[in-house]
A and B are shown apart, each in its own frame.
Chain A
Amino acid sequence: MAEQVLAADGRPLKASLNRALRRQKMRALMLIAPLLLFILVSFVMPIADMLFRSVENQIVGETLPRTVVELADWDAAGEAEPDAAVFEALARDLAIAVEEKSHTRLGSRLNYELTGVSSLFRKTGRSVDEIGETVQDALEDAAPIWKERSVFGGLLGTDDWTNAVDAWDETGTGPAFEARPEMQAVLPDTTSLYRSFTEIAMEAGDNPLTEKQLPIFFHVLAQEVTTAPTDGLSDAQAALFADVQTTVAGLTLDDPKALFVDIDEDWGSTDVWRTIQTYSPAYTDGYFLNSVDRLKGAEGAELRPENERIYITLFIRTMIMSFTITVSCILLGYPIAWLLANLPARKANLLMILVLLPFWTSLLVRTSAWKVLLQQQGVINDVLVWIGFVADDSRLQLINNQTGTIIAMTHILLPFMILPLYSVMQTIPPSYLRAAKSLGATNWTAFWRVYFPQSIPGIGAGSILVFILSIGYYITPEIVGGTKGVFISNRIAYHISSSLNWGLAAALGAILLAIVLIFYWAYDRIVGIDNVKLG
């Protein structure tokens, strides 16, 4: 058996070596840790967070938890609106949501899918506290105790909890609601509703025992108390129940369905309900469908009406124009890079400054300068008219269209093509060209067969830089692109800052990111990323 090689300290050499290497790796990791942490916190996490928004849809389930459960069995394909139980659940959810002011957010969310839902929720939210007023008035007339704001807290919450709330200084998170077990058993719905209410009140820093009671509590109490068994209750509780039963016995309870349909007849149609049902799950592909001009219909994804299709056009346009810009950059940048690499040092340096100066100038300044140059009463048109190339009344349309975007962006991205090309060309020994010529090649053959192949890594590096940069550009197209020269990123910016449809913006961004990765992968397969030289 071969003897193990031992290190000086008596350990096996292999283990000792591993340990030393591990220590080295740890040290290296510690050196890059600040940067890694910075990138994680400021770059990876925000992107991940933003991309997550493209599928996130918890808002419906969180705002309307009871409605979503009741609505699950409703037949969306049928003609009939949901039954009374769904409206009952909606009344409870909405009463809580209004207290939390979350119904308007949900309205805006669903308005992305169905026009008019936003105002429907706002309008309904204003009247939802009418439900329960009948019972509330009757009970308050029957016994003054119902006027007290702490009545539901005392009835449903344990003494420990009410004491804790009284002692609470209304900062930080308040004491979590604890239900009396016997009440939880006989009045489950009222208790659950009151629990939600306490959470919202305490979140806002309010004492739930001194907040105005919601009429919906009385409504739900009246429904439950008529059927509730009284065994397990104390005598006082049973007596209270009996009183409530007597008071509500002769009453006609408020009908949420009638009220909602009265507020807006849209509640009686199936469209709104179908939208709520379709978007009940916590995650949705709706934003991604929207990003490719589709929508969630009754039977899966379907194409949007023709006058709303825009995103596929924009994606294709972004690709084609970015490609055009890349090609123009190659055509314009290659000769300059060649000059830079082959002129005597002094002249090359001067030329280099001319390339770098615009590179260091503000993007907005350069774009605005193109505006002055390209517009119809601008410098270029003036010169063309002056030399008689175009007539004064038919000046060229060079801006606010695709031409404008391509010209301005080619100029702005040109340094990203020239610099990698230059650094690659610098490494090509001039003797190769001389050798080719001495062997009888013409100038063209020497360039095409000897020089050009060696400069391809520079073209590759420049192209991938320019192409990927231009795909995500939005300031320049916004300023000089008019309507036909804008990119998909302009819509992303619009949805982030104006329409606030962050889900859609995130989905569009995710698709754009995926496209870039696919191009990168394809590029790696065809050219090989190892062949890319930046210097």
Chain B
Amino acid sequence: MAPRKPKPKPKRAGDGETPGDVRPKLAVWKFASCDGCQLTLLDCEDALLEIAAKVEIANFPEASRAIVRGPYDVSLVEGSITTSHDAERIHTIRRASKVLVAIGACATSGGIQALRNFAEVGGWMTAVYGRPDAIPTLRASTPISDHVKVDFELHGCPISKEQLIRVLGAILRGNVPRLPHHSVCLDCKRNGTVCVTVAEGQPCLGPVTRCGCGALCPSHGRGCYGCFGPLAEANFGGMGRLLEVKGVDAAGRARLFRGIYGAAEAFRVESESHGRNRT
């Protein structure tokens, strides 16, 4: 028996009721990534149908087959650029987008896959794949802003649901999104979480990491590993020295800075001051 015939047409997301939809068009794009940041949108369970009623979901393949042609009012871009094809594709997306928001550690710093930037990729390719020559990959994994103008960056690995809704709301109202800009360390104080470095001597990147997670790791009794990226103007050298005082060896210090946001400038520079290129 053949499956039910797909319903004819509705090619426009959410249409059926409003021909000539005037809702702003939202598009979600993916580059090298784990899909976690766009999944964050689907994880807005309580608000999902409400958001879907306010915007036209014009391109979001993880959620819908319906693809509406651009231009798009807002494009959310997840993932980093790691292939020459993607380096071209991002320009097409930029041209089709009024506002382009890079979401997540990959799109804003190159992501965890930017750990390759510290190494000789060829050896890894041979180790992982049988026929590395057949796989097109660039030597470095780079953020979206290295390739095109980005209107707003939303950080985190993964991004915060609340921040995403806030940023989308501001952009759709025509406002410039504003997010809090302080360290994870400050949120710990506000939450009344006991400092894991002071009380237990655990290494913690909280003082130099951008807020947004709600200071999650220390609330679980562990040090921050920097998954919202470096906070601009933090004292990274001082952080490095503190780690040293707390007994973290040079390789450990280099590794701590060289994690989820390893290729972000401030973390990269600090990591290189503790350890040369990886072994």
A and B physically associate: no
